[in-house]
Amino acid sequence: MKRIAILTGGGDAPGLNAVIRAVVKTACQEYACEVLGVKDGFDGFITPGGVFPLTLQDVRGILPRGGTILGAANRGNPFARKVLRDGQEVVEDTSVQVIANLRALELDALIVVGGDGTLHIAQELAELNVPVVGVPKTIDNDIGGTEVTFGFDTAVNTATEAIDKLHTTAESHHRVMVLELMGRDAGFITLHAGLAGGADIILIPEIPFRYETLYQKVEDRKQRGSPFSIVAVAEGAHPAGESVVVARAGDSVYVPRLGGIGQAVAEHIAAACRVETRVTVLGHLQRGGSPTPFDRVLATRLGAAAVRLADAGGFGRMVAINGGRITDLPLSEALAVPRRVDPHGDTVRTARGLGICLGD
Ligand code: F6P
């Protein structure tokens, strides 16, 4: 193995720089292999100066840094790249150009670090014989084939800290504080932060809720001398019978996202329970900041494993962690079934046992 490249795509997650560092260090030191960095996801293959050497010097000091030194473009799907033309968002297929430029670099492997969307692109490229190795990344923890993704632990920490802070002000003012959290169609961040922060109500997409159940919980707490409540609601949570369309990274790259389910929950509770409610949308704070030690270690192990997998010719595959051990599996298998919270699993059962309202 003489030359590999690495890119990061889709929404960023704390730990991306730890992966980049591990790839460069392992490739340079263990395999004497040159590493190229690709800027802004797949866009780097079609923009001038988008591919450049990545040296040991370049990755010095980046381990604790959030974000990605390589950048990550939301519109950069080479098969359907979104661009503005005459003020209109149009989609163009740049895959032929991307693949031609990629082949000209004579790479032994391309390491693609990404979530669901980026890894699907990686799989398409692998089917076109591009030597791709995938590394799963997302704060949402929603990728199949791996028991956890890096970025998730940091996001849960940030969300838990927010719940802790909301608790004190909720109690002082006898209010119901609603915290809307990310996760797209998965409720992992909300469930874990809700448990860690001692939320009274946890609403996740995997368990559709009924407003009456929420009112009942708020009233019960009032009766028992706690005239305040904390509601952790996932952005993809929805009342039974209704669905919520959650914006996906790259869906509408030129349009800002506006208020969501947190606002609706707060308005309903205020009207039905005659209590003051306030909403906090934690948003992209969950994607920023320094990765936790857990995420740093996981990202480092996955980055190093990706280099080893590339050297072994494991193309079209994704590194993963299962039972605490590093494994790998075909990208197609990992992407076939997204990970979701098991509504009958131990974590949900534990929450119910503690008296937390899941809204159903
Ligand atoms: O997939 C990560 C994530 O942060 C989701 O939790 C969220 O729905 C989405 O990305 C937000 O995307 P964007 O950065 O495009 O606003």
Question: Which atom, in ligand 1's list, is nearest to the CA of 116?
Answer: 1
Q: What is the pLDDT of residue 81?
A: 87
Q: What is the mean pLDDT of each run of 10 residues along the chain (360 residues)?
A: 96 97 98 98 95 98 98 85 85 92 96 96 96 98 98 98 98 97 96 98 97 98 97 96 63 64 95 96 96 98 98 98 98 97 98 98
251 is a catalytic site residue: no
pLDDT score, position 251: 61
Residue 185 Cα, ligand 1 centroid: separation in angstroms? 10
CA atoms within 13 A on the CB side of 66: 20
Protein residues whose CB sits closer than 6 Å to any atom of ligand 1? 11, 74, 115, 138-140, 182-184, 235, 246, 249, 257, 287
Domains (range + CATH), the chain:
3-150+291-336 (3.40.50.450), 155-287 (3.40.50.460)
Contacts 24+ apart (CB under 8 A), 86-90: 89/252, 89/253, 89/254
Q: What is the pLDDT of residue 249?
A: 46
Nearest CA to ligand 1 atom 16: 249
In terms of Cβ atoms closer than 10 Å to its own Cβ (0-12, 13-18, 19+), residue 57 is exposed
Q: In angstroms, rounded to a whole number, what is the distance separating the alpha carbons of residues 254 and 169?
A: 36
What's residue 245's pLDDT? 64
Q: Is 162 helix (H, G, I), strand (E, B) or coil?
A: helix
Residue partners of 287: CB distance under 8 A and separation at least 6: 11, 12, 13, 14, 66, 139, 151, 155, 182
